[in-house]
Amino acid sequence: MSGTELDYIHSAFAENWIAPLGPNVNAFEAAISSHYQEKRQIAALSSGTAALHLGLEILGVGAGDEVLCQSLTFSASANPIVYLGASPVFVDSEWETYNMDPVALEMAIESRIKAGVKPKAIVAVHLYGMPYQNDRITQIAQRYDIPVLEDSAESLGSHIDGVPCGSFGDIAILSFNGNKIITTSGGGALVCRSEEHKKRAIYLATQARDEAPHYQHSDIGYNYRMSNILAGIGRGQMEVLADRVASRRKNYTSYKEELAKYEEIDFLEEPEGYFSNRWLSTIMTPSFEIREKIRLGLWEENIESRPMWKPMHLQPVFQKNQYYGGEAAEGIFDRGLCLPSGSNLTEQDLDRVLNQIHKIMKS
Ligand SMILES: *Cc1c(COP(=O)(O)O)cnc(C)c1O
């Protein structure tokens, strides 16, 4: 925490705004909005998953539709597609950013159109804070006139040529879950390009009430708005976003400086003009065996590291869904490792991790 969160929470208590609306919610939305140079309308919600659900609905996704989704991601990118009665069609990653492969994306679009089902939307993700290849993805999406939902849950503070992640898609989502770069304990937001989209999001997030003195409903609604208490935490967190990004990037630099000398350990460099918040520091190894040797060696010293996201097309729950691409996503999963990456890691913590990796690499 930054230290100012409690002041904002106290003001919610003092003013008795204990509700899923209020001054903290408005101010938190304004703070997020001012993070973007171009005008963006923010709807603060109960989670990133809720934001994905509403974002897809606002883009017009419904029962029977197909949605193209990056396969290498957290399941929350794909699950809301199913909530809406639509089916995810998974797309491979490329090795420059680990994100959606534009070649596989175009192949998938062509193939689905040929089969008579034009995809309704594209869910592209900036994994671990590294921006996806926005120029190419957006160009393809526009050529086929398919809207992009930008999953920016892991990439608040990242940018391409100074343009912040969360402002590329037709609509974008953020997450403030406890593990993300800044947090409200649980929370999320929709980043909208129009007032109309924001209004629609808040309408749906507050049980879709018609304008009437009584309770009247013309749509199915949800209870997805953010609490005014939690928005108070968010206000304090926005003040330290830049510090958190600096801490995460420092972790990455420490790992890289010490470990790049090993032939078996590769780092994901930022392509020209790209800036990653380095939410998680990841390394790439030449094989599953070497990856596991490092992971288990760290575990022996009570240090947790984790394999990278298991691709959705390899998940039991999505066994029957279509997949386009090759074996990049699978290779990244098999050979990649997320190292301890908290913003609060001390020099001693980092030394402990590094010493153990040195030991493993020498054995
Ligand atoms: C965390 C995360 C989400 C979901 O956000 P929640 O706030 O946890 O619901 C969605 N997509 C990605 C890529 C995430 O990492």
pLDDT of residue 78: 98
The CATH number of residue 267's host domain is 3.90.1150.10
Regarding whether 307 and 218 lie in a shared domain, the answer is no
| Domains: count for the chain | 2
Cα 363 off chain centre by: 36
Tokens of 150: 């930008």
Regarding whether 302 and 172 lie in a shared domain, the answer is no
Span 62-68, average pLDDT: 98
Q: Hey, which of 155, 171, 175, 306 would you mutate to test ligand 1's pocket, going by the most ligand atoms within 8 Å of its Cβ?
A: 175
pLDDT band at 64 (very low <50, low <70, confident <90, very high): very high
β partners of residue 338:
282, 306
pLDDT of residue 107: 98
Are 94 and 102 in contact, with CB atoms under 8 Å apart?
Answer: yes
Regarding whether 250 and 206 lie in a shared domain, the answer is no
Tell me: the pLDDT tens digits for 8-30?
Answer: 999 999 999 999 999 999 999 99
Regarding whether 218 and 264 lie in a shared domain, the answer is no
Question: 212, 238, 264 — which closes off a domain?
Answer: 238
- Please check the confidence at residue 232 and state whether its pLDDT lies above 90: yes
Tell me: the pLDDT tens digits for 97-149?
Answer: 999 999 999 999 999 999 999 999 999 999 999 999 999 999 999 999 999 99
Regarding whether 130 and 85 lie in a shared domain, the answer is yes
Tell me: the pLDDT tens digits for 276-334?
Answer: 999 999 999 999 999 999 999 999 999 999 999 999 999 999 999 999 999 999 999 99
Backbone angles phi, psi at 70, to 5 degrees: -55, 130
pLDDT of residue 196: 98
Exposure on the CB side of residue 303, measured as CA atoms within 13 A: 24
Regarding whether 311 and 209 lie in a shared domain, the answer is no
Q: Atom 14 of ligand 1 has which residue's CA nearest to it? A: 153
The residue range of the domain holding 126 is 5-238
pLDDT band at 37 (very low <50, low <70, confident <90, very high): confident
Backbone angles phi, psi at 248, to 5 degrees: -65, -40
pLDDT of residue 272: 98
For residue 194, the CA-to-ligand 1 centroid distance in Å is: 23
Regarding whether 121 and 23 lie in a shared domain, the answer is yes
Which residue ranges have their beta carbon within 6 Å of ligand 1?
47-49, 73-74, 76-77, 125, 151, 153-154, 175, 177, 188
- Average pLDDT of the residues of the chain: 98
Residue 134 carries which side chain, given as an amino acid letter? N
Pairing state between β 159-160 and 163-164: antiparallel
Residue 202's alpha-carbon distances to 21, 222, 266, in angstroms, are 10, 10, 44
Question: 203, 238, 273 — which closes off a domain?
Answer: 238
Regarding whether 88 and 213 lie in a shared domain, the answer is yes
Q: Tell me the percentage of the chain whose pLDDT exceeds 90.
A: 99
